[in-house]
């Protein structure tokens, strides 16, 4: 939307008969500040009359996420916000399922997206996210790396890496994450595993979503798994979704193919089968600087593929600076019936590990 057109819309609504009486007046200094920085910043006016300048990130479950250079990330109750002004494109979802995209102007009794005022009221808003046209605003990425080196009487190297990528709009979300760990002791590798997941979800309602595709790759030669691919679909539901706590569960069918690292002469080197998975993902904001998460997945599979598999991750992310986190993750992997190696030895059913990373939010 053109710069001057947006300003005209803003002030025409502020000064329009019938609207002006229901809104607090904008002082000349405030108007000048908005005009000066509207191409760089978003604005929120609180019910108390205070103004916040920064970046409007999103609104979910009647909570507005707003990023301020001075106050960092804020979560504000929708009822405490009198006005939102943003020249950037957003994707806005309403309670009847309709979606509009464009710059935002939200007041106490109206919603404007783009150049026209809509018939919806602020109470009809379900969610607001960065528009698909505003590519940078919809993405979140975090990369972590950890290392522990020992030299002298013991030659040991422990390396770990993690990637977490999210893209969420008012109607869908893309989640991609990967975690890898490698340990060597006196030049002998004692741990070498990789797990990567990718999901795409489409929200039917605020809580219910469909998962058209889910993908997982897993490798752990010490569990006699050279490569394991899982492709599936499903449906999910948000059990809890508020300012501090998010918990969703998912269920669906999947196709799984496993290539074993080392098997006997008469044993099959690979297996393909159908399966069913159940997943639970939980995130909890303990404090403003500490976030907790717990992920769990149960996959029903044939005995020839190793039987049912379980994976759990409990983690904590501690903010060191605005963009740097200290992450601790505890992992548990369980395979019901591990496939025997070529020498007849059977891998243990359970693997436990702790991974410590320093991560950077991009």
Could you give the maximum distance between any two Cα atoms of the chain, in Å?
86
Same domain, 239 and 325: yes
Please tell me the distance from the alpha carbon of residue 264 to that of residue 221, in angstroms, as a whole number.
15
Same domain, 211 and 329: yes
* pLDDT score for 330: 93
Helix (H) or strand (E) holding 7: helix 3-15
Same domain, 230 and 350: yes
Same domain, 63 and 198: no
The CATH number assigned to the domain holding 324 equals: 2.40.160.40
Tell me if 223 sits within 8 A of 198, measured CB to CB.
no
pLDDT band, very low/low/confident/very high, at 61 (cuts 50, 70, 90):
low
Q: Which of 132, 156, 174 is the last residue of a domain?
A: 132
Choice among 36-50, 168-182, 247-261, 329-343 with the minimum mean pLDDT:
36-50
pLDDT tens readout for residues 257-297: 999 988 887 788 888 889 999 999 999 988 878 999 999 99
Same domain, 189 and 321: yes
Same domain, 144 and 127: no
pLDDT tens readout for residues 129-163: 776 555 545 677 899 999 877 766 667 888 999 99
Confidence check: pLDDT of 21 > 50:
no
pLDDT tens readout for residues 94-118: 877 788 888 888 888 888 888 877 8
Same domain, 13 and 104: yes
Entry pTM: 0.70
Q: Which of 132, 147, 168 is the last residue of a domain?
A: 132
- CA proximity to 303, closest of 348, 342, 265, 258: 258
The packing angle between helices 28-37 and 3-15, to 10°, is 160
Same domain, 20 and 106: yes
Same domain, 189 and 330: yes
Same domain, 254 and 279: yes
Q: Residue 272: give the domain boundaries.
A: 139-361
Q: How many domains does the chain have?
A: 2
CA distances from 22 to 8, 80, 202 (A): 19, 16, 37
Confidence check: pLDDT of 333 > 70:
yes
Tell me if 254 sits within 8 A of 215, measured CB to CB.
no
Helix (H, G, I), strand (E, B) or coil at 169: coil
Please tell me the distance from the alpha carbon of residue 102 to that of residue 358, in angstroms, as a whole number.
37
């Amino acid at each position: 939307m053109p710069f001057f057109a947006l300003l005209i819309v803003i002030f025409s609504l502020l000064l329009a008969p019938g609207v002006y009486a229901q809104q607090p007046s904008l002082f000349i200094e405030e108007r000048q500040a908005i005009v000066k920085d509207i191409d760089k910043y978003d604005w929120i006016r609180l019910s108390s009359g205070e103004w916040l300048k920064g970046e409007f990130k999103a609104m979910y479950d009647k909570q507005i996420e707003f990023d301020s250079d001075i106050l960092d990330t804020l979560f504000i109750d929708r009822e405490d916000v009198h006005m939102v002004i943003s020249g950037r494109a957003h994707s806005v979802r309403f309670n009847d399922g309709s979606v509009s995209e464009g710059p935002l102007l939200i007041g106490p009794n109206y919603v404007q997206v783009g150049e026209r005022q809509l018939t919806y009221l602020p109470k009809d808003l379900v969610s607001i996210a960065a528009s698909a046209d505003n590519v940078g605003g919809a993405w979140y990425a975090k990369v972590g790396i950890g290392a522990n080196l020992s030299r002298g009487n013991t030659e040991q190297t422990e390396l770990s890496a993690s990637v977490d990528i999210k893209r969420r709009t008012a109607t869908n979300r893309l989640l991609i994450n990967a975690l890898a760990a490698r340990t060597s002791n006196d030049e002998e590798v004692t741990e070498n595993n990789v797990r990567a997941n990718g999901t795409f979800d489409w929200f039917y309602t605020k809580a219910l979503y469909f998962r058209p595709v889910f993908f997982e790759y897993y490798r752990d030669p010490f569990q006699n798994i050279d490569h394991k691919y899982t492709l599936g679909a499903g449906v999910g539901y948000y059990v809890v979704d508020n300012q501090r706590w998010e918990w969703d569960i998912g269920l669906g069918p999947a196709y799984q193919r496993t290539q074993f690292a080392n098997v006997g002469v008469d044993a099959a080197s690979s297996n393909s089968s159908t399966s069913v998975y159940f997943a639970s993902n939980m995130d909890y904001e303990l404090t403003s600087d500490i976030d907790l998460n717990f992920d769990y997945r149960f996959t029903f599979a044939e005995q020839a593929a190793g039987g049912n598999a379980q994976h759990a991750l409990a983690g904590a992310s501690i903010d060191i600076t605005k963009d740097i986190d200290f992450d601790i993750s505890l992992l548990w992997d369980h395979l019901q019936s591990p496939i025997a190696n070529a020498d007849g030895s059977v891998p243990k059913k359970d693997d436990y590990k702790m991974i410590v990373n320093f991560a950077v939010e991009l």
